[in-house]
Amino acid sequence: MALACALWLAGDTCRPAAAEAAWDNLFALPSPQATEKAYETEPEEVPAPGDVRIEVVRHEREPGEPRRVLIYHTHTWEAYEPTEEDTYTPTERWRTKDNQHNVVRVGEELARELTALGFEVVHDTTAHEPPNLDTAYTRSLQTLEAYSARGETFDCYIDLHRDAYVESMAGSNSVQDGGKSLPHIMLLIGTGTGTSGGEAFAQKPNWQVNIVLAQKITDALNAQVEGLAYPVKTKTGRFNQHVSEGAVLIEVGNNMNTLREALDAMPYLARAIDEATRS
């Protein structure tokens, strides 16, 4: 995958200042009616014995070959605020193992939109949360490792999530376009400069490349609807983005958004990915 674009980076984040403190303290959500455990901070990323490793293979497309995208979900059971249209049996508040009502359904919609744009899409619906949500990243890494072992490569690896609501975040919880309410979308890139279990990561992401793709997608989203995407967020974890260049984590809305809002945002996200991966 060729990513010809000047590197964009402004410190650790370009998130609005009013929201930054809240983002970095997701375990202290102030509103009882909107409180959820927030695992996007990748707690400890507990490694398998020997620190699970995966060979990084760069995929170069032949002329005319379709772009390949893998969509998967480390936090498979993340769900949205229930509505009359979207009712579900929760495993806990804002989580359900019913894939018609969690982020898997959103991934299904994104896969459909990308396929219509000419992508070859693999949507992996493996449930990585059980038996322990804290070690979900270890299991999603094993899923990625299995694709690598089969010799499969992709132009873009998307770990699709929904975010946790933070009351003090600046601005509205959604944006409007053409009569539709759309949730904010945010891309998160791991630098791998942190630690796991007190030790430095043995393998680190090529985050300087991954952030270029993330910024392209963000720019393409905001070109469609101003404010649709938050600025790209960087964290010191690696979020399994060491598996390949072109790996991103995408947060579609938060637990106070609705599934309908998330689904309605997928054509916008698909078009942004299409534009970002053309170069």
Mean pLDDT for 248-269 is 98
For the domain bounded by 44-276, which CATH number is listed? 3.40.630.40
Task: Read off the pLDDT band of 61 (50, 70, 90).
Answer: low
Q: Give tens-digit pLDDT for 94-126.
A: 999 999 999 999 999 999 999 999 999 999 999
Task: Inform me whether the pLDDT recorded for 183 exceeds 90.
Answer: yes
Choice between 227 and 8, residue whose per-residue pLDDT is larger: 227
The residues near 32 (Cβ < 8 Å, ≥ 6 apart) are: none
Count of CB atoms situated within 10 Å of the CB of 113: 20
* Residue 268 near residue 226 (C-beta atoms within 8 A): no
User: 8-17, 47-56, 153-162 — which one is most confidently predicted on average?
Assistant: 153-162
Nearest to 46 by CA among 151, 167, 114, 128: 128
| Domain residue ranges in the chain | 44-276
- Mean pLDDT computed over every residue of the chain: 83
Task: Read off the pLDDT band of 167 (50, 70, 90).
Answer: confident
Mean pLDDT for 65-70 is 95
Nearest to 269 by CA among 215, 224, 202: 224
**Distance between CA atoms of residues 130 and 23, nearest Å:** 26
Count of CB atoms situated within 10 Å of the CB of 21: 11
Helix residue ranges, H only, 182-258: 207-224
Please report the pLDDT score of residue 64 as a whole number.
73
Task: Please report the DSSP string for 124-160 in residue order.
Answer: -----STT-GGGHHHHHHHHHHHHHHTT---SEEEEE
Mean pLDDT for 74-85 is 97
Please report the pLDDT score of residue 63 as a whole number.
63
Task: Read off the pLDDT band of 43 (50, 70, 90).
Answer: very low
Mean pLDDT for 39-64 is 44
* Residue 162 near residue 107 (C-beta atoms within 8 A): no
Cis peptide before 66 (omega within 30 of 0): no
Count of CB atoms situated within 10 Å of the CB of 53: 15
Task: Read off the pLDDT band of 39 (50, 70, 90).
Answer: very low
Mean pLDDT for 161-180 is 88
Please report the pLDDT score of residue 51 as a whole number.
37
Task: Inform me whether the pLDDT recorded for 90 exceeds 70.
Answer: yes
Q: Encoding tokens for residue 232?
A: 């790209």
Task: Inform me whether the pLDDT recorded for 178 exceeds 60.
Answer: yes
Helix residue ranges, H only, the chain: 17-23, 103-116, 136-149, 207-224, 259-276
Please report the pLDDT score of residue 172 as a whole number.
87
Task: Inform me whether the pLDDT recorded for 203 exceeds 50.
Answer: yes
* Residue 122 near residue 129 (C-beta atoms within 8 A): no
**Distance between CA atoms of residues 11 and 9, nearest Å:** 6
Please report the pLDDT score of residue 17 as a whole number.
31
What phi and psi, each to the nearest 5 degrees, are found at residue 199? -120, 150
Portion of the chain with pLDDT greater than 70, in percent? 76
**Distance between CA atoms of residues 167 and 35, nearest Å:** 9
